[in-house]
Amino acid sequence: MHKVQARRTPNEVARDLFDGLPGRYDRLAEVLSMGQNRRWRRAVVDAVVAHAPASVLDVATGPAGVALQLASRAPARVTGVDITPQMLRAGAVNVARRGMGHRVTLVLGRAEQLPFLDAAFDALTFTYLLRYVDDPAATLAELVRVVRPGGAIAGLEFHVPPGPLWHQMWLLYTRLVLPAAGWAVGGREWYEVGRFLGPSISGHYQRYPLDWHLRAWEEAGVVDVRTRLMSLGGGLVMSGRRADG
């Protein structure tokens, strides 16, 4: 008899993909985004620091890249949370190297069940998260739960370029160029990530198109929601604030 393989959860997929990559994650993100990752992350940080928060939670913090940006641009206490211990260890090295240990704290945890009290933070950011959770709508509600009323929320995800020409070029890049480049630059681990990324993004937006994201944010209790497609639609930055009361 054939054994039935248990379906891996999105959390498990994320851990399997990124366990071996923490020291190279930021470089990998630049390759995967065609060099646009820094610009996209800066837009997320811009949306939050404009509100001068005293405390910020950065979800899916990885090696603490966004958390460190937040700490360098706002006089805030920043907490980064991630499900991957290896990523957090790399993040701790980066935090120590920048001398930010007194401002940035890293915590192991899941976005779907954050280990924090209601309204514990003035603001929240997340990056490349919603493709790695079983229920994106419930996860958004959990993110909003830990932000105080009126607090800023901003997130970054990969996106599928909407224009026909750019969409075809994106398909070519993600299906052919990206896996090959990953193999050439980082070996099998990068190849697997490169091969996974394009179909994962396409599948996510087939199930959850942009209009769904907008509704999900609003239904989670976020107001003044703004969507910003960046780099011809390859990146999606969303921002808003938790409703008062």
pLDDT tens digits along 118-135: 999 999 999 999 999 999
Q: How confident is the model at residue 37 (pLDDT cuts 50, 70, 90)?
A: confident
Q: What is the pLDDT of residue 183?
A: 74
Q: What average pLDDT does this structure show over 192-219?
A: 92
Strands 222-230 and 104-108: what pairing?
Answer: unpaired
Give residue 45's domain range: 10-161+208-242
Q: What is the pLDDT of residue 4?
A: 40
Q: What average pLDDT does this structure show over 86-109?
A: 95
- The answer to whether residue 19 sits within a structural domain is yes
- The answer to whether residue 188 sits within a structural domain is no
Q: Which residue has the higher pLDDT, 31 or 113?
A: 113
- The answer to whether residue 2 sits within a structural domain is no
Query: Domain holding 129: CATH number?
Result: 3.40.50.150
Residue 21 reports pLDDT greater than 50: yes
Strands 121-127 and 104-108: what pairing?
Answer: unpaired
Q: How many angstroms separate the CA atoms of 15 and 161, rounded?
A: 27
Q: What is the pLDDT of residue 1?
A: 43
Q: How confident is the model at residue 191 (pLDDT cuts 50, 70, 90)?
A: confident
- The answer to whether residue 203 sits within a structural domain is no
Q: What is the pLDDT of residue 176?
A: 85
Residue 85 reports pLDDT greater than 50: yes
Share of the chain above pLDDT 90, in %: 66
Q: What is the pLDDT of residue 5?
A: 44
Give SS3 for 77: strand
- The answer to whether residue 155 sits within a structural domain is yes
Question: Domain tally for the chain?
Answer: 1
Which tokens belong to 90? 């790399």
- The answer to whether residue 37 sits within a structural domain is yes
Sort 160 into a burial class: Cβ within 10 Å, 0-12 / 13-18 / 19+: buried
- The answer to whether residue 101 sits within a structural domain is yes
**Within a 13 Å sphere around the CA of 87, how many CA atoms are in the beta-carbon half?**
25
- The answer to whether residue 190 sits within a structural domain is no
Residue 103 reports pLDDT greater than 70: yes
Q: Is the distance from CB of 81 to CB of 96 less than 8 angstroms?
A: no
